[in-house]
A and B are shown apart, each in its own frame.
Chain A
């Protein structure tokens, strides 16, 4: 962990976070441009919706991977976690906006009926709703202000990730290899959380009882 931090000078490290935001938004921008100019084949609205949803899942997975990466491989990418989480939030929001505007033409009656009556949409909507407080409290001020409660609140991301996987699996006619891949990734990353204290205790014991790092969620 120390190596990676040392490898980048202070200023570059800060720039790299902003670069991640910029790079992270490329798939959405690219997809929108393709769709708006008639270059997405078949059903362009659905293609774009699915692209946004899949990238939201990928960013959620990346966010959840930060902790096990450090625990297991000593790679410290903590610096990028907020950006990854916020990218996930923006993609979920764009996914819903695309559905609302491009797919349903702001037909609110149909949208509300979908949310109320289609379980996979209800679950997806719940995921978006839970992401909002996390996005709003992702700034330093909130972290200081909320103290220990911040950590508790942000454990919602586990529920959100599970909702995301479920939403994806329930939206398709047949759960295929691609859905299973995302379900498995999220299941493994969630399963790490209860195993983690046990692992860290052993690791510390192995390191001669020295305290390595304070626990972080």
Chain B
């Protein structure tokens, strides 16, 4: 009796090489997902969060609209471009540098940002183009991050900067460059520390898709959407008012404050009313009046007491 007989495997039992490789690929992908190393939107990860009393109870905009109707000029000018053209963008690994007038400047890895206590914040989002959505963000107050770096007494403003990656962001390369990159934005320090102001890492209970500003973006619900800078790589505390992209591009059309204000029209369209996205076809949608500070007047009007909101639009 032979001590060992080589097993005879029928050819039908042998896994084709391509499937074997696919399986390895799949495992690598799964491992990446566990380490939050995977990139594309199809690998969105669920995020745990707690409810917030600051959330609105309005009907949510369908997720498919919130993730397919976007302004993110780094990926193109069309509303569908961010979704269609952001497949190459890699939101991980990621670090956000926090510096300027702070005692403890440092970099935050994405894992560290995700370890802040996350809340779900359901906010109205009012675009400067007179449309709006209701979006459930997952994130944490920006104030919590600012606390950890200890702003100096001289800090009056917070400047934000978006990543520049022409090879992954097709809107940043090519002949027609609509804006100067990087996209930059800014808030007054008291605006940045307001409890409504959050850094969002997810929406609809999952990590942010690329087209919505992965992996980390700003959400300031009482301001027009363009203030909510996406894919942030740097936060700098400053003494002087920092530049803001749209404000520099067309200062008569987009103010630094950009607080939602139905009484201050955009020179080319009225801001008195808005169209809620995702309410059916032609006849389901309804124009609704736009509210001062996008309905957050009670919460925020105090920080603008005595200020001329028409001059400082």
Give the B-binding residues of A (Cβ under 8 A). 35-46, 48, 102-105, 110, 113-114, 117-120, 170-174, 176-178, 180
Contact = CB atoms under 8 A, between A and B. Distances in A.
Contacts of B283: 36
A176 B79 contact: no
Given A42-B65, A45-B275, A110-B270, 7 more contacts: A37-B281, A42-B80, A43-B277, A48-B282, A171-B268, A174-B178, A176-B178
A54 to B, nearest CB: 12
B308 to A, nearest CB: 21
A42 B268 contact: no
Nearest to A113: B270
B69 A114 contact: no
Nearest to A34: B281
Given A114-B270, A176-B77, A43 B281 contact: no
Contacts of B250: 173
A128 B178 CA distance: 29
Contacts of A180: 176
B179 interface: yes
Contacts of A120: 268
21 contacts: A41-B65, A41-B69, A42-B65, A42-B79, A42-B278, A43-B69, A43-B79, A43-B275, A44-B281, A44-B282, A45-B285, A46-B131, A105-B287, A110-B270, A110-B272, A110-B273, A114-B270, A118-B269, A170-B268, A176-B77, A177-B175
A43 B278 CA distance: 7
B280 interface: yes
B269 A176 contact: no
A197 B160 CA distance: 58
Contacts, number: 73
Contacts of B269: 114, 118
A105 B131 CA distance: 15
Contacts of B278: 42
Nearest to B273: A110
Nearest to A174: B178
Contacts of A41: 64-65, 68-69, 80
Interface of B: 64-65, 68-69, 73, 77, 79-80, 129, 131, 175-176, 178-179, 249-250, 265, 267-270, 272-273, 275, 277-278, 280-285, 287
A42 B68 contact: yes
B249 to A, nearest CB: 8
Contacts of A38: 280-281, 284
Nearest to B272: A110
Nearest to B73: A174
A48 B178 CA distance: 24
A40 B270 contact: no
B283 to A, nearest CB: 7
A145 B285 CA distance: 48
A40 B281 contact: yes
Considering the complex of A and B, which 7 residue pairs feature the smallest CB-CB distances, nearest first?
Answer: A42-B69, A38-B281, A174-B178, A176-B77, A177-B176, A35-B282, A38-B280
B268 A44 contact: no
A34 to B, nearest CB: 8
Contact of B281 (A36, A104, A114, A170): A36
B139 to A, nearest CB: 24
Q: Which of B65, B265, B282, B287 has the most A CB atoms < 10 Å from its CB?
A: B282
Given A43-B275, A170-B268, A35 B281 contact: yes
A21 B267 CA distance: 38
Q: Which of A45, A118, A170, A173 has the most B CB atoms < 10 Å from its CB?
A: A173
Contacts of A43: 69, 79, 131, 275, 277, 285
Contacts of B65: 41-42
Contacts of A35: 281-282
A36 B280 CA distance: 9
A100 to B, nearest CB: 13
A182 B201 CA distance: 39
Given A38-B280, A120-B268, A174-B179, A44 B69 contact: no
A110 B277 CA distance: 21
Contacts of B268: 118-120, 170-171
